RNA sequence: GUGGCUGUAGCUCAGCUGGUUAGAGCAUCAGAUUGUGGUUCUGAGGGUCGUGGGUUCGAGUCCCAUUAGCCACCCCA
């Protein structure tokens, strides 16, 4: 019995079959990103805490994984003057694992501003970490696939992001609804009901409308300290009916007198117009209750949900006007989206949407009959590899049954056998594991036969 | 940070109101088959029943604590 080993809560190992499927998702996303002119970058897994802290709200700060300083990290700490953990932390940790890809990207842009072509379009596919309590569809380590463009405030970017969402999910075969809204409209609403300061409280509460219902939302608004009349003033908005344009018309009546709200309505109108010309196959919904948690969003916001699976959002994003400002570079607007690869995987798994194509594996296995036969096979093995055929030779002369089983388990389609009789005839026996048939061929025509069989598959 | 559920073989689980040696399927290994896998048949190995304490003549089963995992809330991809 070996000692019990395990991995940290909320993290996972990925075996070869799972990796094949994960790569299928990531490759699809990458292809679409490139198709729209986005270029890849990577940033370190860890950032200085000064980069991370304060960007995700109070809750986000709590969910940051902090990295203990190396060495004798207590050396210069005066423990008697420290009062509690929160007081001690800044003295013993100065780095943390990244929480998302957007903030590190903003840091990257500011640091490299002189080298980058603007508007700069980048994509980034890397893991992020959150010290959450894991549950269904929620992990402590997961991949985000981000595409952002900074240095352009054109709404064409927003429209293209929605097109990318459309393309990714139609290629993957997932039916989705894209919900869109605009933070400026929400800000206008907050102002219209006389509570411009309470934007975050309002949005966080109404974001849950379809989940907990209007009564609970109102309760929560009250708990968050909103006066009754403000809550009442909000009610008609929450139930604005009709298509997107009808909603915009109703909104004009409510927030038309507020400058920011009007701006939001204008932006939404333009975006809808772009999208009307984009031949989308996905379902688009202007959802006034969509708020999204991250508080750096300032314009359009998106969220994508799978229609046939209950797993929360699988993609989200929005515009942030001043993210680089906190790193000393004001006036740079950006907009981006993030695909949650792990949740997309879970959805596709649940709905059985993965194509049958199995893991990339060996095409041909040479069975091992002994020392002389090994030598006889080696040149042929090399030749096949040169020709681009994934080839293995079994490393030891085990019983054939065992070697065949290995080929079977790895789903290797072709097996080559060469024993005494083949060596005598300068030939090889090629077996098709699927069909079960086999034929003995002259050495010179083996490669061709293999090539033809693989083509046929 | 708050609440609920569950820990039995490598995995998925059964195990009745406490009763003698704790079972099944899958997986693993060996054999049937010394140059032929995926099917079949036969056999084998593998467990301090999460951990610690308690009740009892007797605990996988009941009670308490602890720990780990899952689910929900908060928040989020």
Determine if strand B comes within 7 Å of the CB of A316. yes
pLDDT of residue A321: 87
Report the alpha-carbon distance of residue A203 to residue A190 in Å, rounded: 9
Ranges of beta strands (E only) in A287-340 are 300-306, 313-320, 334-340
The complex scores an ipTM of: 0.81
pLDDT of residue A309: 78
Distance A118 CA to B76 C1' (A): 31
Please give the nucleotide, over all strands, whose C1' is closest to the CA of residue A423. Answer: B35
Domain spans of chain A, in order of start: 20-351, 364-456
Same fold flag, A20-351 and A364-456: no
Distance A410 CA to B28 C1' (A): 17
CA distances from A124 to A1, A41, A88, A315, A339 (A): 42, 6, 34, 14, 10
Report the alpha-carbon distance of residue A111 to residue A113 in Å, rounded: 6
What residue has its CA nearest to the C1' of B74? A59
pLDDT of residue A441: 95
CA distances from A57 to A54, A102, A128 (A): 6, 14, 17
Residue A190 CB partners (closer than 8 Å, separation 6+): A196, A197, A198, A199, A202
Question: How remote is the C-alpha of A111 from its chain's centroid?
Answer: 25
Which residues 341-360 in chain A have a CB closer than 7 A to strand B?
A: 342-343
* Bases of chain B with protein Cβ within 7 A: 1-2, 10, 28, 30-31, 33-38, 46-48, 68-77
Parallel, antiparallel, or unpaired for β A391-393 and A364-366? parallel
pLDDT of residue A1: 33
pLDDT digits (tens, 9 = 90+) for A405-430: 999 988 899 999 999 999 999 999 99
Residues A96/A46, Cβ–Cβ less than 8 Å: yes
Determine if strand B comes within 7 Å of the CB of A223. no
pLDDT of residue A162: 95
Which residues 135-194 in chain A have a CB closer than 7 A to strand B?
A: 135-140, 142, 144
Which residues 50-89 in chain A have a CB closer than 7 A to strand B?
A: 57, 59-60, 63
Please give the nucleotide, over all strands, whose C1' is closest to the CA of residue A57. Answer: B75
Please give the nucleotide, over all strands, whose C1' is closest to the CA of residue A373. Answer: B35
DSSP states of A86-102 as a string? HHHHHHHEEEEE-S-SH
Question: How remote is the C-alpha of A137 from its chain's centroid?
Answer: 13
Determine if strand B comes within 7 Å of the CB of A393. no
Distance A133 CA to B17 C1' (A): 39
Determine if strand B comes within 7 Å of the CB of A385. no
Residues A265/A248, Cβ–Cβ less than 8 Å: yes
Closest to A148 measured CA to CA, from A331, A319, A325: A319
What residue has its CA nearest to the C1' of B75? A59
Determine if strand B comes within 7 Å of the CB of A305. no
pLDDT of residue A438: 92
Report the alpha-carbon distance of residue A428 to residue A422 in Å, rounded: 6
Domain A364-456 top-level CATH class: alpha beta
Give the global pTM: 0.87
pLDDT of residue A136: 82
Q: Which fold has domain A20-351?
A: BirA Bifunctional Protein; domain 2 (3.30.930)
Look up residue A315 and give its two tokens: 């993609």
Determine if strand B comes within 7 Å of the CB of A10. yes
Determine if strand B comes within 7 Å of the CB of A196. no
Mutual angle of helices A228-238 and A244-255, in 10-degree steps:
150
Which residues 267-286 in chain A have a CB closer than 7 A to strand B?
A: none
Longest dimension (CA), chain A: 96
Please give the nucleotide, over all strands, whose C1' is closest to the CA of residue A340. Answer: B77
Give pLDDT < 50 ranges for chain A. Answer: 1-3
Please give the nucleotide, over all strands, whose C1' is closest to the CA of residue A216. Answer: B73
Report the alpha-carbon distance of residue A204 to residue A217 in Å, rounded: 9
Burial class (CB in 10 A: 0-12, 13-18, 19+), A426: exposed
CB atoms within 10 A of CB A163: 19
CB atoms within 10 A of CB A96: 22
CA distances from A401 to A288, A367, A369, A437 (A): 64, 10, 12, 16
Cα–Cα–Cα angle for A330, A331, A332, rounded to 5 degrees: 95
Distance A371 CA to B43 C1' (A): 33
Report the alpha-carbon distance of residue A210 to residue A238 in Å, rounded: 11
Determine if strand B comes within 7 Å of the CB of A260. no
Determine if strand B comes within 7 Å of the CB of A312. yes
Residues A95/A47, Cβ–Cβ less than 8 Å: yes
Residues A187/A264, Cβ–Cβ less than 8 Å: yes
Give the DSSP letter of residue A395: S
Report the alpha-carbon distance of residue A179 to residue A284 in Å, rounded: 6
Distance A452 CA to B37 C1' (A): 22
Report the alpha-carbon distance of residue A131 to residue A445 in Å, rounded: 59
């Amino acid at each position: 019995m070996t000692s019990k080993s395990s991995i940290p809560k909320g993290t996972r190992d990925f075996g070869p079959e799972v990796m094949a499927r994960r790569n299928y998702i990531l490759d699809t996303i990458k292809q679409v990103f490139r198709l729209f002119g986005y270029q890849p970058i990577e940033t370190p897994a860890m950032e200085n805490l000064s980069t991370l802290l304060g960007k995700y709200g109070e809750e986000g700060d709590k969910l940051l994984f902090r990295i203990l300083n190396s060495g004798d990290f207590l050396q210069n700490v005066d423990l008697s003057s420290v009062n509690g953990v929160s007081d001690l932390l800044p003295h013993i940790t100065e780095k943390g694992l990244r929480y998302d890809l957007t903030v590190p990207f903003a840091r990257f842009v500011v640091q490299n501003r002189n080298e980058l072509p603007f508007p700069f379009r980048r994509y980034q596919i890397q893991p992020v970490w959150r010290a959450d309590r894991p549950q269904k569809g929620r992990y402590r380590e997961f991949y985000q696939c981000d595409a952002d463009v900074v240095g352009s405030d054109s709404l064409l970017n927003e429209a293209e992001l929605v097109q990318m969402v459309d393309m990714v999910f139609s290629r993957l075969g997932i039916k989705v609804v894209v919900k869109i809204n605009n933070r400026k409209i929400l800000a206008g609403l907050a102002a219209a009901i006389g509570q411009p300061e309470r934007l975050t409280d309002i949005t966080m509460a109404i974001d849950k409308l379809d989940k907990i219902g209007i009564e609970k939302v109102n309760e929560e608004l009250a708990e968050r300290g909103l006066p009754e009349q403000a809550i009442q003033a909000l009610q008609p908005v929450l139930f604005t009916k009709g298509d997107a344009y009808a909603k915009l018309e109703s909104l004009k009546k409510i927030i038309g007198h507020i400058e920011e709200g009007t701006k939001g309505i204008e932006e939404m109108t333009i975006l809808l117009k772009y999208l009307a010309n984009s031949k989308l196959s996905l379902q688009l919904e202007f959802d006034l209750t969509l708020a999204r948690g991250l508080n750096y969003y300032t314009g359009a916001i998106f969220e994508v949900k799978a229609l046939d699976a209950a797993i929360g959002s699988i993609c989200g994003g929005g515009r942030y006007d001043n993210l680089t400002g906190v790193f000393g570079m004001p006036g740079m607007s950006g907009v981006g989206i993030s695909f949650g690869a792990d949740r997309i995987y879970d959805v596709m798994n649940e709905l059985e949407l993965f194509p049958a194509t199995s893991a990339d594996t060996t095409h041909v296995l040479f069975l091992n009959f002994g020392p002389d036969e090994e030598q006889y096979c080696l040149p042929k093995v090399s030749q096949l590899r040169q020709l681009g055929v994934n080839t293995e030779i079994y490393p030891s002369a085990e019983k054939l049954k065992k070697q065949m089983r290995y080929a079977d388990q790895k789903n290797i389609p072709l097996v080559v056998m060469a024993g005494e009789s083949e060596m005598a005839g300068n030939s090889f026996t090629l077996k098709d594991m699927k069909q079960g048939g086999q034929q003995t061929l002259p050495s010179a025509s083996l490669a061709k036969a293999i090539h033809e069989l693989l083509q046929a598959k």
